[in-house]
Amino acid sequence: MSWQQNVRTVTPYVPGEQPGRPDIIKLNTNESPYPPAPGVIRKAAGLNAADYRLYPDPEAEALTTTLADYYGVLNDQVFVGVGSDDVLAMAFLTFFNSGRPILFPDITYAFYDVWADLYRIPYERQPLDGEFRLVKEDYYKENGGIIFPNPNAPTGVEESQELIEDILRANRDSVVIIDEAYIDFGGSSCLPLIRTYDNLLVVQTFSKSRAMAGIRIGFAMGDKKLIAYLRNAKFSFNSYTINRPALELGIEAVKDEAYFHGTIARITATREAVKKELRRLGFAFPDSRGNFLFATHEKVKAEELYKALMNHGIYVRYWKRPRIDNYLRITIGTEKEMKTLLNFLEEYLAN
């Protein structure tokens, strides 16, 4: 018998390209086009390298306390991990063990089915409607858990609080995870609902709105029982998930609220301006509440545009998958970057 017969195989998640080409415009992974808060930069310059020999605080208490104070929850209602992917993977491992299928949309973050396959969790994809919206009745059936992003990725569509609460009311015996990676760009967080629903876990990240994708900090908030179960799983897996520099830099990022809101305002203003220009050029897209647009052109195929843009040094995201193979996901960059994108599209479409 070959040892390969005993390997746990899974089709891995494919992240957006990280090209090594110089002088490109990178609009394919929803990173912030602006640097982290000034306090983060100052703290990074002053970090004591001698401390790197020491393990970080396994409880990450300084960071969880900072987050709890900022979001108006208790310290034992916050869990942190190495980016929201780490937090979500730990939540899958912890909560989705009933043997019943978990439910998530058919067009959504592509890591959900990867984690489900990795942990041998059965799942069912629920089709979004023609406007890329959840059909809430699809989530009223028996299940082993529910997860979806709000706003959704890659569509950018935000679901109403009323719809989400309907789903929560219908699933009091399942853990419902709302992945709010893009909530800061104009959405309404479900966080207040954790006071009413002890089965609700809200997950957010520092990677997008706090411009710290390279530092890797994510966090979950929910009932203290949910958080306690997550911590128990974490300490059975890897106690030291957040490194010492990340803990200190994360605290500095939360402190600078003015910079945080100012950066978000710049990105959302650029997003709204780009919407108008793309419509003028013949594109259509859902009303995104994220830091990206999910766009299709009335005449030119998305794959053709994707390749033309890449050849011109502009990287956007394209998936050759059913229902979305004629869409591009375009991250909102700086005003200058978006002007270059629009100028290229206008010239290309005119030929």
Backbone torsions φ then ψ of 134, nearest 5 degrees? -65, 145
pLDDT, mean of residues 104-127: 97
- Which of 298, 275, 292 minimizes the C-alpha distance to 333? 292
pLDDT at residue 17 in the model? 83
Quickly list DSSP for 286-337: ----SSEEEEEESSS-HHHHHHHHHHTTEE-EE---TTTTT-EEEE---HHH
pLDDT, mean of residues 312-320: 96
The yes-or-no verdict on residue 196 having pLDDT over 70 is: yes
Backbone torsions φ then ψ of 69, nearest 5 degrees? -65, -40
Strands (E), the chain: 25-26, 78-81, 102-105, 123-126, 146-149, 176-179, 200-205, 218-222, 283-284, 292-297, 314-315, 317-318, 328-331
Count of C-beta atoms within a 10 Å radius of residue 75: 15
The yes-or-no verdict on residue 1 having pLDDT over 80 is: no
How far apart are the C-alpha atoms of 327 and 319, rounded to whole Å? Answer: 8
pLDDT at residue 351 in the model? 83
How far apart are the C-alpha atoms of 328 and 284, rounded to whole Å? Answer: 11
Q: What is the pLDDT of residues 133-147, one digit of tens each?
A: 999 999 999 999 999
What residues have CB less than 8 Å from 97, skipping those under 6 apart? 121, 144
The yes-or-no verdict on residue 189 having pLDDT over 70 is: yes
**Run of H or E including 186:** none
pLDDT at residue 41 in the model? 96
The yes-or-no verdict on residue 3 having pLDDT over 90 is: no
Residues in a beta bridge with 57: none
Q: Is the peptide bond before 286 cis (omega within 30 degrees of 0)?
A: no
- Which of 169, 175, 15 minimizes the C-alpha distance to 98? 175
The yes-or-no verdict on residue 311 having pLDDT over 80 is: yes
The yes-or-no verdict on residue 225 having pLDDT over 70 is: yes
pLDDT at residue 286 in the model? 97
pLDDT at residue 146 in the model? 98
Backbone torsions φ then ψ of 110, nearest 5 degrees? -75, -5
pLDDT at residue 134 in the model? 98
What residues have CB less than 8 Å from 175, skipping those under 6 apart? 91, 95, 96, 145, 146, 199, 201, 226
Long-range contacts of 337-341 (CB under 8 A, 24+ apart): 337/25, 337/27, 337/33, 338/270, 338/273, 338/274, 340/25, 340/314, 341/25, 341/27, 341/309, 341/314
Higher pLDDT, 334 or 49: 334
The yes-or-no verdict on residue 149 having pLDDT over 70 is: yes
The yes-or-no verdict on residue 38 having pLDDT over 90 is: yes
pLDDT at residue 50 in the model? 82
The yes-or-no verdict on residue 306 having pLDDT over 90 is: yes
What residues have CB less than 8 Å from 324, skipping those under 6 apart? 107, 154, 294
The predicted model scores a pTM of 0.96
Q: Are the beta carbons of 67 and 251 closer than 8 angstroms?
A: no
Confidence of residue 273 (pLDDT cuts 50, 70, 90): very high
Q: Are the beta carbons of 87 and 80 closer than 8 angstroms?
A: yes
pLDDT, mean of residues 236-255: 94
The token duo for 184 is: 């800061």
Give Dmax over CA atoms of the chain in angstroms: 62
The yes-or-no verdict on residue 20 having pLDDT over 90 is: no
The chain-wide mean pLDDT, for the chain, equals 96
Exposure string of 146-165, with b = 16+ CB inside 10 Å and e = fewer, is bbbbbbbbbbbbbbeeeebe
pLDDT at residue 9 in the model? 87
pLDDT at residue 187 in the model? 96
How far apart are the C-alpha atoms of 279 and 296, rounded to whole Å? Answer: 10
Confidence of residue 21 (pLDDT cuts 50, 70, 90): confident
Long-range contacts of 4-11 (CB under 8 A, 24+ apart): 8/118, 10/114, 10/117, 10/118, 11/114, 11/117
Kindly state the percentage of the chain with pLDDT values over 70: 100
Around 202, how many Cα atoms within 13 Å sit in the side-chain half-sphere? 24
How far apart are the C-alpha atoms of 268 and 292, rounded to whole Å? Answer: 9
pLDDT, mean of residues 227-252: 94
pLDDT at residue 275 in the model? 98
Q: Is the peptide bond before 127 cis (omega within 30 degrees of 0)?
A: no
pLDDT, mean of residues 115-129: 97
